[in-house]
Amino acid sequence: MEWTWYILYFLVLICLAGYGFHRLTIIYLYLKHSKDVPQPRKHFEELPIITVQLPVFNEMHVVERLLEKVSQLDYPKDKLHIQLLDDSTDETTEICAREIKKLQDKGFDADYIHRTDRTGFKAGALENGMKYAKGEYLFILDADFVPNPDVLQKTIHYFADEKIGMIQTRWGHLNRNYNMLTRIQAMFLDGHLELEQTARNRSGRFFTFNGTGGMWRKSCIQDAGGWEHDTLTEDMDLSYRAQLKGWRFIFLKEVETPAELPVDMDGFKSQQHRWTKGSIQCCKKCLLNIWRSDYPLNVKLEATAHLTSNFAYLALILLCFLIYPKEEFRPQWELLQNYPWIEHFLNIPIFFFGSVSVALFYLVAQKALRPGQWYKEIFYLPCLLALGIGMSVNNAKAVLEAIFNHQTGFVRTPKYGIDKDKKDKKQASSSRYKAIKSLTPFLELAFAFFFSVVVISNIIDEKWLTAVLLSPFPVGFFYTSLPSLMRMLPSRGKNEADAIVDEGK
């Protein structure tokens, strides 16, 4: 079994290194095209009607803020149609009805559409709302977004080119510095939005709508087959279908639309589970059609890397099971004993592509977005790498559910109305909105203890380099498991219930 464990270990590392190499190609494409800022080919002589679609579900903490910001958009009132698409089952419905009435009294063309049947979840709400949309252009905002007043003026004129089907703006982060988790999330998203989206779009690759903070041409959605709800990432699904139909998309990294990040671990896990599972569902649905299309090979390869990237979490879980056997059953081959540098020759490039490339990826994104402060983010890179490892159980579970067609509903990520000017943590701790509990944290905790033993044993054996390289594993699994387990404690649940009662009073 010696050579079996050893070879399997290196095969998994090579797989992870392959996705790391893909990140380096993204950096290359980004640097090559970062200055190719898209410009409207022409401007509308008369501004068209825009329908702002606001899909919400049980968002009592943020819906009022959302509608207030939408009412401040710098766009002619007679050209602005507001749709509040509400599927809520709590007092959010009362808040929505009240705030829409206020907008109507101010002269806004605002409609309140409440569904009692949540068929299709968000995709179903958007498809239903599109039937009543007065505008040919649909600007979509999730409940936790806070649009800047000039966002419509900065995006609408690109649609003067009839081949443009969608414009995506870059997400900003209202509560970036709220806690350690939000800071790391911001780095994750900055890498995706600043580097990946820019590189893909400006190099002629496929890129996708991020679900919010973007504007669609209604006829593009209809031509692509409309919103479908057979995946949990309806935005990615529709994006690929529309581009396969020949529609062009534009990503405007220079236009920012701020949003609220999840402030607790369970909310973050819920969001990541949905995104991961949905991407694999889209992979199963769209990848074959991409390879059947007439797009160039380099475009197809990049789309494949994009759609399959979350399989890396399965590889990471396999690595967790292979690390200890690889150390214990290292083959006593004469070649390795006589020439120990051979193993280092294999390890160094794999480590570079698997780890260093990831760190470089996020540093480049921070340098682009935070020119005078990017170096401060270096201290958070070990935490980012550890969190990525810790999330492997949660996200590998999502990948397996997608592979085996295990159906789950659209689980919303709790939002609490926390922004940069609001540091009160009571809003999050006392809210009744909580992510669904699961058994995943217990498995994460088991991994945490296991890798703690592995690291300690390497320290005892004076294998210092191995101990350092493996240290993110126990840190990451403790970081993802303990906050979730703490919330399951009876005393914690009682305190939350008491806080909700106090809030009601």
| Rounded distance between C-alpha atoms, residue 38 and residue 29, angstroms | 16
pLDDT of residue 496 exceeding 50: no
- Name the helix (H) or strand (E) containing 109: strand 109-114
| pTM score | 0.90
- 212-229 residue pLDDT tens: 999 999 999 999 999 999
Domain-located, residue 229: yes
| Rounded distance between C-alpha atoms, residue 64 and residue 61, angstroms | 7
Domain-located, residue 410: no
Better-scored residue on pLDDT, 100 or 412:
100
Domain-located, residue 498: yes
Among 10, 7, 143, 2, which residue's Cα sits nearest to residue 64? 143
Domain-located, residue 218: yes
Which of the 8 DSSP states describes residue 377? G
pLDDT of residue 422 exceeding 50: yes
Domain-located, residue 332: no
**Overall number of domains in the chain:** 2
Q: For residue 257, what pLDDT is reported?
A: 97
Q: For residue 321, what pLDDT is reported?
A: 82
- pLDDT confidence band for 2 (50 / 70 / 90): low
Mean pLDDT of 76-101: 96
Mean pLDDT of 58-67: 94
Average pLDDT, the chain: 88
Q: Domain containing 291 — which CATH number?
A: 3.90.550.10
Three-state secondary-structure class, residue 275: helix
Q: For residue 162, what pLDDT is reported?
A: 96
Do 199 and 29 meet the contact criterion of CB atoms below 8 Å apart? yes
- φ, ψ at 22 (rounded to 5°): -60, -35
- 244-275 residue pLDDT tens: 999 999 999 999 999 999 999 999 999 999 99
- 457-487 residue pLDDT tens: 889 988 787 788 889 999 999 999 999 998 8
Mean pLDDT of 324-353: 58
Q: For residue 497, what pLDDT is reported?
A: 40
Mark which of 247, 276, 301 sits at the end of a domain. Answer: 301
Better-scored residue on pLDDT, 341 or 414:
414
| Rounded distance between C-alpha atoms, residue 329 and residue 131, angstroms | 63
Among 265, 286, 262, which residue's Cα sits nearest to residue 414? 262
Q: For residue 502, what pLDDT is reported?
A: 34
At position 411, the amino acid (one-letter code) is V
Q: For residue 451, what pLDDT is reported?
A: 92
Among 135, 145, 161, 136, which residue's Cα sits nearest to residue 42? 161
Tokens for 386?
């550890």
Mark which of 301, 318, 353 sits at the end of a domain. Answer: 301
Q: Which residues contact 499 (CB under 8 A, 6 or more apart)?
A: 426, 429, 430
| Rounded distance between C-alpha atoms, residue 44 and residue 157, angstroms | 6
Among 239, 168, 197, 146, which residue's Cα sits nearest to residue 369? 197
pLDDT > 70 in the chain, percent: 87
Domain-located, residue 225: yes
Lowest mean per-residue pLDDT among 376-380, 417-421, 501-505: 501-505
Q: How deeply is 360 buried, as exposed, middle or buried, from its count of CB atoms within 10 A (0-12, 13-18, 19+)? A: middle
Which range of residues forms the domain containing residue 244? Answer: 46-174+203-301
- pLDDT confidence band for 239 (50 / 70 / 90): very high
Q: How deeply is 304 buried, as exposed, middle or buried, from its count of CB atoms within 10 A (0-12, 13-18, 19+)? A: middle
Mark which of 263, 278, 301 sits at the end of a domain. Answer: 301
Q: Where are the alpha helices (DSSP H) in 293-403?
A: 297-308, 312-328, 334-338, 341-351, 357-369, 381-390, 392-403
- 158-202 residue pLDDT tens: 999 999 999 999 999 999 999 999 999 999 999 999 999 999 999
Q: For residue 348, what pLDDT is reported?
A: 65
Residue 274 CA, distance from chain mean position: 9
Domain-located, residue 334: no
Do 318 and 269 meet the contact criterion of CB atoms below 8 Å apart? no
pLDDT of residue 430 exceeding 60: no
- 349-401 residue pLDDT tens: 666 667 888 899 999 999 999 988 888 888 899 999 999 999 999 999 999 99
Residues annotated as catalytic (active site), given as ranges: 87, 235
* Distance between first and last Cα of the chain: 65
Better-scored residue on pLDDT, 135 or 326:
135
- pLDDT confidence band for 6 (50 / 70 / 90): confident
Mean pLDDT of 453-457: 90
Three-state secondary-structure class, residue 319: helix
Domain-located, residue 286: yes
| Rounded distance between C-alpha atoms, residue 464 and residue 449, angstroms | 19
Q: For residue 494, what pLDDT is reported?
A: 47
- 295-331 residue pLDDT tens: 999 999 999 999 999 999 999 898 888 876 555 555 5
Q: For residue 425, what pLDDT is reported?
A: 54
Instruction: Say how many C-beta atoms besides its own lie within 10 A of residue 74's C-beta.
Output: 11
